[in-house]
Amino acid sequence: MNTRRDFLQKVAASALILPLPSWALSAPKYDGPVLRVALMGLGGYATRVADAMRDCKKAKLVGAISGTPDKLTNWQSKYGIPEKNCYNYQTFSNIRNNPDIDAVYITTPNSLHHSQVLQAAAAGKHVLCEKPMALNAKEGAEMVAACKKAGVKLLVGYRMHFEPKTLEVIRMRNSGEFGKILFFQGLCGFRIGDPTQWRLNRELAGGGSLMDIGIYAINGTRYMVGEEPVWVTAQETKTDKVKFKEGVDETIQFQFGFPSGAVASCLSTYSMNNLDRFFLNGEKGFAEMQPSTGYGPIKGRTNKGELTQPHATHQMVQMEEMADIILNGKQPIVPVDGEEGLKDLKIIDAIYLAVKTGKKVPLNL
């Protein structure tokens, strides 16, 4: 298993033949505005997004940005992208002069997000950025400020914020069906493969498992509990110092406390499989999801029975919903904006500080 995406693909299964979500039940012909998107960083995940966008009505793939000429050529052919809408990293700033592109979706390594978001904003394009949004909260705040100054939207690739079973658990919690929330557990990890990949390079990744798979537990804690944590403690375990060099975490356990008194216990790892599990416990009931963040179908149950909401390709739903946010001002149930991404970065900073100091670190989100 080489990457997080390999891990997520392994838990994916064939889409269930179930009723389509409400947004897909509209008339076959969509005549509204369409978000025209260029993908930046044409790796495995960008390919997954591009394939999913074939089924989008409100978003269309029209451009590509890559440092590899062969990839640009292949994408022009595979996805019907005009040559004039293709750029390399040196010519990327010229996108400002291209009226055919509305937004740039950045799927490059973590350390590149900051500069590329600033470039896209300066070019007057809306920005979608993969998570984590940046290497730290300082970078994240600069990205949020730059997009606000440029008058463009900054959205983060939190696809789970649109996933039907996840949203059903959130609905049940909000309606009080679980009662007072007491505890959350988030387990996220896999055994990482190729030791030369960028995810194990501190300069490109900004860390290790926490900056990759751990972001799901961090963000998931917040949307499952429905509160912002006020403190965090954390402990790191490293069994392989050759593969996981200085600054590249192998396994981190971290704990949160919330204003209500609820607590959470999470795990982020690059050395264990069979995880991807969320568990939410309240005074009146519970929700359990496994897989909880994979490409789907997500599986879960509550004290009231199995979750049976329909599955649709996450990236397709995400792009449809994000197009609605940008074009029509739609307000999602769970935010996906830059401020949401910045909160997770503040937590990441605090987790690393807690590991370093061994102390409980206060959070003010």
**238 catalytic, yes or no?**
no
Active-site residue identified among 58, 71, 125, 131 = 131
Neighbours of 264 (CB within 10 A): 25
* CA–CA distance, 309 with 205 (Å, rounded to integer): 35
Question: Could you give the strand order of the β-sheet that contains 300-302, starting from the edge strand earlier in sequence?
Answer: 305-306, 300-302, 286-289, 277-282, 181-189, 263-269, 251-257, 231-237, 361-362
Given the structure tokens 């940046």, which residue do they identify?
Answer: 134
Q: Which residues pair with 68 in a beta bridge?
A: none
**216 catalytic, yes or no?**
yes
* CA–CA distance, 73 with 64 (Å, rounded to integer): 10
Question: Please, what is the end-to-end C-alpha distance for the chain in angstroms?
Answer: 35
Active-site residue identified among 87, 216, 270, 352 = 216
At 315, the amino acid letter reads Q
**Which residues are tagged catalytic?**
131, 216
